[in-house]
């Protein structure tokens, strides 16, 4: 039976996310208090998307737009689509930089669709929304953090994606370079196999990271060491890899954010944050951000 669509527009705030956090490749994600807003309404006929901010004049304006496509997939999962859909995106998350722009679009779209359907939360609960979002994105780490907020650890059993949400307090600085690297390009650089010793080391560091982010800040440098993906990807992001390595040599817990090329550091008090911001390479944008324990959510109507 086709669902009943609500007539009022909804606005969703969808957070940026940093995946991997060093050793947690394809599993760990952290939601950041910075993001995009999506306003959507089941109205008119056909699909129309307006974009302001990042991606305006570049992104499609029809049903192939990632937010619209994710909304349509969510409507299908809930039993049917409305005759028309109007979407307005106010984008702040930079694209193809490793800050989870595609996950914010996918999860924001799914949550918007859910809010436009009577009983949407029952028809598409978080458990199912997460698997749907991960299917669209191709891996679960960013979408889990975008949906649930906080620090998330996601895993996949057959086709079902599950995740735990761990509330955290964390301050970070993101250093966004002026160049893009798409996730597809960064994933294509990874080898099919890795040495057993590297995998074993990563497992230990990822486990340690949960404790480090739980308050044992002195462990963060050791806990963010990665041997599975960052170095393999360095040919596509040489400046980022070099900057991250230099920071780590100076004792700063720095990682490549997501699939890169943004570099993320965990920071301490305001003075530490200011000192880190001052190290931003010329032409890059440094931003001090807090983690948020809230995922994509309705903020108006
Ligand atoms: N708000 C958006 N609206 C529509 N399409 C988007 C939006 N954000 C991202 N995209 C699409 O996703 C692409 C970027 O996705 P990609 O997975 O390569 O990087 P990312 O999500 O920014 O980084 P990462 O996954 O490493 O954190 C963009 O080039 C665009 O095609
Ligand atoms: N785990 C993913 C995150 C980027 O979306 C990767 O590193 O490719």
| Centroid of ligand 1 to alpha carbon of 141 (angstroms) | 14
User: Closest ligand 2 atom, CA of 190?
Assistant: 8
Mean pLDDT, rounded, of the chain: 97
Nearest CA to ligand 1 atom 22: 96
Rounded distance between C-alpha atoms, residue 274 and residue 100, angstroms: 24
Confidence at 300, pLDDT banded by 50, 70, 90: confident
- The pTM for the full model equals 0.97
Name which residue sits closest to atom 10 of ligand 1, judged by CA. 102
Nearest CA to ligand 2 atom 3: 258
Ligand 2 atom index nearest CA of 138: 5
List strand residue ranges (DSSP E) for the chain, in order.
Answer: 10-20, 24-41, 46-53, 84-91, 151-157, 160-166, 171-176, 254-256, 263-267, 285-290, 297-300
The pLDDT value given to residue 301: 63
* Residue ranges of the binding site for ATP: 94-104
pLDDT digits (tens, 9 = 90+) for 196-207: 999 999 999 999
- The C-alpha atoms of residue 76 and residue 99 are separated, in whole angstroms, by 28
pLDDT in tens, 104-158: 999 999 999 999 999 999 999 999 999 999 999 999 999 999 999 999 999 999 8
**Count helices and strands in the chain by DSSP H and E runs:** 10, 11
- Closest residue by Cα to atom 2, ligand 1, is 105
Q: Which ligand is nearest to the CA of 141?
A: 2
Report d(CA 99, CA 87) in Å as an integer: 22
Task: Measure the CA angle with vertex 231, ends 238 and 274; round to 5°.
Answer: 65
**If you average pLDDT over residues 267-284, what whole number do you get?**
95
State the DSSP code for 219: G
Q: What is the pLDDT of residues 59-111, one digit of tens each?
A: 999 999 999 999 999 999 999 999 999 999 999 999 999 999 999 999 999 99
Give this complex's ipTM.
Answer: 0.98
Write down the pLDDT at residue 159. 81
Which of 28, 73, 90, 96 is the pocket-test mutation for ligand 1 (most atoms within 8 Å of CB)?
96
Percent share of the chain, pLDDT over 90: 97
| Structural domains of the chain sorted by starting position, each given as residue range(s) with its CATH number in brackets | 10-167 (3.30.230.10), 171-290 (3.30.70.890)
* Residues ≥6 apart with Cβ < 8 Å to 165: 148, 149, 150, 151, 152, 293
């Amino acid at each position: 039976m086709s669902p009943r669509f609500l007539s009022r527009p909804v606005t969703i705030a969808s957070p940026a996310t940093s995946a991997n956090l060093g050793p947690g490749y394809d599993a760990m994600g952290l939601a950041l208090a910075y993001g995009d807003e999506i306003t959507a309404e089941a109205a008119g006929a056909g699909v129309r998307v307006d974009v302001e901010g990042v991606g305006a004049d570049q992104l499609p304006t029809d049903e192939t737009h990632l937010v619209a496509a994710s909304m349509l997939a969510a409507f299908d999962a809930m039993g049917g689509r409305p005759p028309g859909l109007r979407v307005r995106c106010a984008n702040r998350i930079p694209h193809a930089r490793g800050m989870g722009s595609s996950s914010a679009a996918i999860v924001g779209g799914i949550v918007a669709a859910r809010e436009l359907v009577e009983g949407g939360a029952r028809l598409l609960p978080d458990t199912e929304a997460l698997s749907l979002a991960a299917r669209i994105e191709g891996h679960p780490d960013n979408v889990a953090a975008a949906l649930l907020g906080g620090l998330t650890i996601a895993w996949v059993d057959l086709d079902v994606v599950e995740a735990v949400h761990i509330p955290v307090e964390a301050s970070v600085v993101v250093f966004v370079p002026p160049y893009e690297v798409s996730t597809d390009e960064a994933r294509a650089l990874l080898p099919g196999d890795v040495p057993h010793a590297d995998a074993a080391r990563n497992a230990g560091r990822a486990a340690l990271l949960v404790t480090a982010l739980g308050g044992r800040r002195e462990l963060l440098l050791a806990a963010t060491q990665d041997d599975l993906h960052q170095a393999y990807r360095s040919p596509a992001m040489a400046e980022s890899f070099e900057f991250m390595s230099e920071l780590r040599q100076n004792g700063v817990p720095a990682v490549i954010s997501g699939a890169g090329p943004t570099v993320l550091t965990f920071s301490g008090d305001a003075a530490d944050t200011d000192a880190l911001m001052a190290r931003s390479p010329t032409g890059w944008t440094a931003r001090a951000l807090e983690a948020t324990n809230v995922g994509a959510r309705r903020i108006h109507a």
